[in-house]
Amino acid sequence: MEFLWDVSLSRYRAKENFIAYMYSTINNLGESMKMMTFLALFMSFSVMAQPVQNRANLEAEAKKLSLQMKILVDRNVDRLDERDLTQLVRSLERSKDILLGQRPGPGPGPIPPIPAPRYTCDRASASEYQQTFIKVKNFAYSSSGLDMSSAAATNFAQDWSTRYSCADADQFISIFGRLKNFAYSTSGLDMSAAASIDYAQQGVNSLCENYNFEAEYKNLYNFAYSTSGLDLSAAAAKDYARQRVEPQMFQCRPFNF
């Protein structure tokens, strides 16, 4: 950086010396010619000075942004979830590499827009946090949800709010219910109520929502169980369908952490 500044400064001084020389050269010209010449020189000097002015403006802007970043990091870093913390660290590491002269190469395409930070629910506004807490606690207490005691449901809602965004509540409840119904249904995994709850809890953070696993499982089971298909026992057909479907079911991150 210092080398580039020295080069720019040397060029700037050379241009000043050139202008002084031209001033003495045209001193013997007529008044109208002097005026036209000075005007041309002034316009040339303004154009030549722009790179120096632009650099000074960029340096001032860089210093201002670094101070703003320091303030914002101190104020908000503890409110970010793991996804946004990872993204922030990568951005700061890239900036540090640039300042050290280790400039990273350009990416494969345009930089995508940075999504808005996803604060964990316990860091949200009081009203949003309270509404979401009640919703999650009711879900945990309900027999159609986790079927917990009131105390256990309270503990679950407290823990949930430190891991998820408030905006995740409806999606979380929907995914959980879908998995629980699939596990409990006789056309699905045919598990007990307790086992279906455990199954849903284990898969809620990795389910691929766009995958129609219910229909796929049913088709695979019918093929495996049918005498015109694999002619397996019911238990073996269930295992066959499950082994084919679950690797595709659980390979996503619906909540981005």
- Would you state the pLDDT for residue 169? 95
SS3 at position 119 = strand
Is the Cβ–Cβ distance between 128 and 165 less than 8 Å? no
Q: What is the mean pLDDT of residues 223-243?
A: 94
CA angle 125, 129, 132 (to 5 degrees): 145
Threshold 0.75, pTM exceeds: no
CA distance 62 to 67: 9
Indicate the range of 117-121, 158-162, 179-183, 230-234 predicted with least confidence: 117-121
- Would you state the pLDDT for residue 133? 97
For 134-179, the pLDDT digits (tens) are: 999 999 999 999 999 999 999 999 999 999 999 999 999 999 999 9
- Would you state the pLDDT for residue 181? 96
More confident residue, 219 or 54: 219
Give me the phi and psi of 79, to 5 degrees please. Answer: -95, -10
Distance of CA 200 to the CA centre of its chain: 26
Closest CA to 199 of 177, 183, 186: 183
- Would you state the pLDDT for residue 168? 94
* Residue length of the chain: 257
- Would you state the pLDDT for residue 2? 45
Taking the domains of the chain in order of start, what are their residue ranges?
Answer: 2-79, 121-249
Closest CA to 139 of 157, 121, 165, 155: 157
Task: Indicate the average pLDDT of the chain.
Answer: 79
Ramachandran assignment for 256, one of left (phi > 0), alpha (psi -120 to 50 degrees), beta (any other): left
- Would you state the pLDDT for residue 103? 62
- Would you state the pLDDT for residue 14? 53
For 63-109, the pLDDT digits (tens) are: 888 777 778 778 777 777 777 777 778 787 777 777 776 665 555 45
